Amino acid sequence: MQVGIIGLGYVGIPLARRISQSGQGVTGFDIDAERVSGLNGGRSPIRHIADAEIGAMLAHGFEATGDFSRTAECDALIICVPTPLGKTREPDLSYVVSTMESIAPHLRAGQLLSLESTTWPGTTEEVLRPYVEHAGLTPGVDFHLVYSPEREDPGNPDFDTRSIPKVVGGSTAACLDAGVRLYSLFIDRIVQVSSTRTAEMVKLLENIHRSVNIGLVNELKSVTDRMGLDIFEIIDAAKSKPFGFTAYYPGPGIGGHCIPIDPFYLTWKAREFGVHTRFIELAGEVNAAMPRYVVDKLITALNERAKALRGSKILALGIAYKRDVDDTRESPSVFVMELLREWGAEVHYSDPNVPVFPRMREHNFDLASVEVTADSLASYDAVLLLTDHSAFDYGMIAEHASLIVDTRGAFRDMPANSKVVRA
């Protein structure tokens, strides 16, 4: 088998690594020339994948390229390109469409094409299939078309690409069979569903489930806070129930390329069917209000110390969207930093995984990560814990910061201390 992975990012690279480990041939395709040459030079663009692992893939024949005519050399093609939202929060399928434009001239009989990017139910049939048919191919007859959602959880040490069960839906029964045969070569457990639409909807259910439940605990956090109760203590106790409860934790909002975005793919498609997805909108509203909630808590805490936010020096701890990753996409920390800047604060950040503030489409901070030391902590009017990386020295922060606004419950076990404010 020669498998082509199109889109060498957080999803595509771990998948390429797993396929390479299984002994199949892998070619990686990407439009980012720097990324292609970096990978061919043995450099990993992702913090949790070591350069040595890229080296091992290269030793097993992996190659990255920007030459899409080489997709014809592959028996199977797996698309892992971004599926963001546009400015008005409608699905932006332009990356998927441009991928299809690049590969359509090279599609040939006998190939299998799988879409893994998260998207609205119907994308594989309504967007991909016409390209296949225009190439003179018929899914289920001389070509196979499937959808199989990616379930990568960066930074989670308990699961890897191989052990995470893989849902597969086919355009036809023969497509499904071919998809199951392909993924069985490198994934332990395959879960078959009746159609590509079903498989697309499975992924959305998973992410909507998270978004709605995180929205719920974020709302409950503001209630328990008013009541003087600790939401983290309550969740930990509730979690002792051995059935019917799943723990979700509050925070400064939601981030990453999935949870803040994917639910709105369904909202958009549901409108075509005259259905309003109110739970999704409500969770989105609650979660999107969290950065403002955090800033309000900071303003109040500074006010109690006779300080204004304008002119205060604030250190944001953690700009990755979640613990122990280096991904800052849609990170609520960045929204908090934007608000602080708008209010006239002098904002700095520290993140052991993000040494320099990355280039982002909608945010621009010319900053590098500040080293967290006793002296640097003491020089800020407040530190704001936004992402609870395990590399932070929480004891030192508690000792030397003059005011801590904690959005993650990282300081809840520390002795009662008026300088820690929950947000």
Ligand X SMILES: NC(=O)c1ccc[n+]([C@@H]2O[C@H](COP(=O)([O-])OP(=O)(O)OC[C@H]3O[C@@H](n4cnc5c(N)ncnc54)[C@H](O)[C@@H]3O)[C@@H](O)[C@H]2O)c1
Q: How far is the CB of 360 from ligand X (least distance, A)?
A: 12
Residue position matching structure tokens 């901070």: 365
Q: How far is the CB of 101 from ligand X (least distance, A)?
A: 8
29/365 with CB nearer ligand X: 29
How large is the angle between the packed helices 231-238 and 196-227, nearest 10 degrees? 130
Task: State both tokens at 75.
Answer: 């028996």
Q: How far is the CB of 59 from ligand X (least distance, A)?
A: 22
Nearest 5°: the CA angle 414, 415, 418 is: 100
**Secondary structure letter of residue 166 according to DSSP:** E
29/349 with CB nearer ligand X: 29
Task: State both tokens at 200.
Answer: 């697309």
Cβ–Cβ < 8 Å for 42, 55? yes
Nearest 5°: the CA angle 350, 351, 355 is: 95
Give the dihedral sign, CA 299/302/307/310.
negative
14/291 with CB nearer ligand X: 14
Active site residue 74: no
Q: How far is the CB of 23 from ligand X (least distance, A)?
A: 24
214/301 with CB nearer ligand X: 214
92/225 with CB nearer ligand X: 92
Give the dihedral sign, CA 137/143/146/151.
negative
Cβ–Cβ < 8 Å for 181, 148? no
Q: Which of 74, 80, 175, 258 is catalytic?
A: 258
66/140 with CB nearer ligand X: 66
Q: How far is the CB of 376 from ligand X (least distance, A)?
A: 31
283/295 with CB nearer ligand X: 283
Give the dihedral sign, CA 97/98/103/104.
positive
Q: How far is the CB of 325 from ligand X (least distance, A)?
A: 9
Give the whole-angstrom CA distance, residue 324 versus residue 352: 9
Q: How far is the CB of 398 from ligand X (least distance, A)?
A: 32
CB atoms < 10 A from the CB of 57, how many? Answer: 25
Cβ–Cβ < 8 Å for 235, 217? yes
How large is the angle between the packed helices 262-272 and 278-288, nearest 10 degrees? 150
Positions touching ligand X (CB under 6 A) are 6-12, 29-32, 35, 80-83, 95, 98-99, 117-118, 150, 152, 154, 257-258
DSSP labels, 348-400: EEE-TT-SBPPP-SS-----BPPP--HHHHHTSSEEEE-S--TTS-HHHHHHH
Task: State both tokens at 26.
Answer: 């892998």
Residue position matching structure tokens 């969770």: 283
List residues with catalytic annotation.
258
